[in-house]
Amino acid sequence: MPTDAASETLNPHQEAAVPIDRRTFLLTPAAALAAQESRQIRTAAIGIGNRGTALLRQVLSNANARVTAVCDIDPQARDRAASAAARDNPRVFDDYRRVLDLADVDAVTIASPCDLHAPMAADALRAGKYVYCEKPVGITPEQVQSVLTASRGAKGFLQIGQQLRYFPDLREVIRQIHGGVHGATLVVKAQRHSSAPEAGKERPRAAWYDDVKRSGDLIVENAVHNIDVCNWIVNSRPVSAYGHGKKYFPKPIPAGTLMMDGFSVEYIYENDVHLDYSQLYMHPRGLKELSNGQWYIAFGDQGAVHVSKGLYYPMHAAAEPRDLLTAELRSSKEKAMEDFFACILEKRTPFADIKVAATAALTAILGREAIYRRRSVEWKDLGVTI
């Protein structure tokens, strides 16, 4: 056993350090904790805009990680990231490929524009790195296929930034749905509604975001979070989709040119469940009959579960709904990045793994293509095998 425990790092090309259970059995609790925290994962941040900066902060706050490199094409973003991670004295790069060549990088976070997720993630997997990639994993079927191919036989793994899967309360409610608390799921309804911004008060956005050929459009860049939760609830994947959408403000423009601000999609799943998903940026704040915000409801043959509220409503009972959550779960926090590092140390597959990543992205792409083509589109038309 090394005497200088603080010098230990995890090399993705070698076996990890001795597992905690055997190594720390004979240590005092304090010594065991120190040994565990000394196994630091050398991490590089690729893409350091708003989301990338948030990920960088999470890496810095994790006792099992340190930042060895930061990378962005924007010099100001690089400077901000280097200053934020000054504790770890990271090297600074403007080309992500140079980061992937580094021997002292075990893991990378990727938070670049959406069209760059797939090539960067695939290259990182081929370089033997562990990858935390923001959603979506790709914006075309071909991009998704490229990451799936790179993941097969890779020394590292990919965890996708579908962080809603890492909220303990949501995980518990969906566990109970899968257990049949409401009977068999028949239909899911879900939405993501908000009010249109007032003229002159629009939030500034990066130029790539509104470019549908770079972002993948609203359903792929944004709604993929919510659609992934629907996939999780249904516990299947779609066979077909049909939808309609536009950019409605300031004047209606057909879908496929600029990012949509409203759409609806109907999905039919392999297990014959029907999903009705709506996303609108035109919901008046005072309209209460159809509540604003994000929610999911699973309708079963014995009742319904309001997933976002954690409540079960029996089909014919007039009583108050049953609470599916404890107070502790209701106050729990998302733990996606924490679990990413735990998976590396414990050599286990992430909950939001490459299969989740590919299925979520392809479901969103399927809906987008149905909207663009103005007809029903089938999963098999995408030509990707998961």
Q: Which of 24-33, 72-81, 96-105, 245-254 has the lowest mean pLDDT?
A: 24-33
Helix (H) or strand (E) holding 3: none
- The strand pairing partners of 211, in sequence order, are 258
Pick left, alpha or beta for residue 383 (phi over 0 → left; psi -120 to 50 → alpha; otherwise beta): left
Choose between 199 and 76: higher pLDDT.
76
pLDDT above 60: residue 20: no
- Mean pLDDT for 235-250 is 97
The model's confidence at residue 162, banded by pLDDT at 50, 70 and 90, is very high
Choose between 286 and 70: higher pLDDT.
70
pLDDT above 80: residue 140: yes
User: What's the pTM value of the predicted model, to 2 decimals?
Assistant: 0.89
Helix (H) or strand (E) holding 219: helix 218-221
The model's confidence at residue 31, banded by pLDDT at 50, 70 and 90, is very low
The model's confidence at residue 59, banded by pLDDT at 50, 70 and 90, is very high
Contact status, residue 335 vs residue 166, Cβ threshold 8 Å: yes
pLDDT above 80: residue 15: no
pLDDT above 70: residue 217: yes
pLDDT at 199: 72
pLDDT at 38: 53
As given in the structure block, the two tokens for residue 259 are 């990012």
pLDDT above 90: residue 188: yes
Q: Which of 49-58, 210-219, 271-280, 315-324 has the lowest mean pLDDT?
A: 315-324
Choose between 361 and 33: higher pLDDT.
361
pLDDT above 90: residue 139: yes
The model's confidence at residue 36, banded by pLDDT at 50, 70 and 90, is very low
The model's confidence at residue 39, banded by pLDDT at 50, 70 and 90, is confident
- Mean pLDDT for 272-293 is 88
As given in the structure block, the two tokens for residue 359 are 């299925």
Q: What is the mean pLDDT of the chain?
A: 90
- Kind of pairing, strands 238-247 and 253-254? antiparallel
| Angstrom distance (rounded) from CA 210 to CA 220 | 12
With CA atoms as reference, report the closest residue to 245 among 142, 364, 141.
364
- Mean pLDDT for 374-378 is 97
Estimate the crossing angle of helix 141-151 against helix 354-373, to 10 degrees: 170
The model's confidence at residue 355, banded by pLDDT at 50, 70 and 90, is very high
- pLDDT tens-digit profile of 308-323? 999 999 999 888 999 9
The backbone torsions φ and ψ at residue 195, rounded to the nearest 5 degrees and listed phi first, read -80, 150
Amino acid, res. 97: R
Q: Could you give the percent of the chain with pLDDT greater than 90?
A: 82
Choose between 338 and 197: higher pLDDT.
338
pLDDT at 41: 98
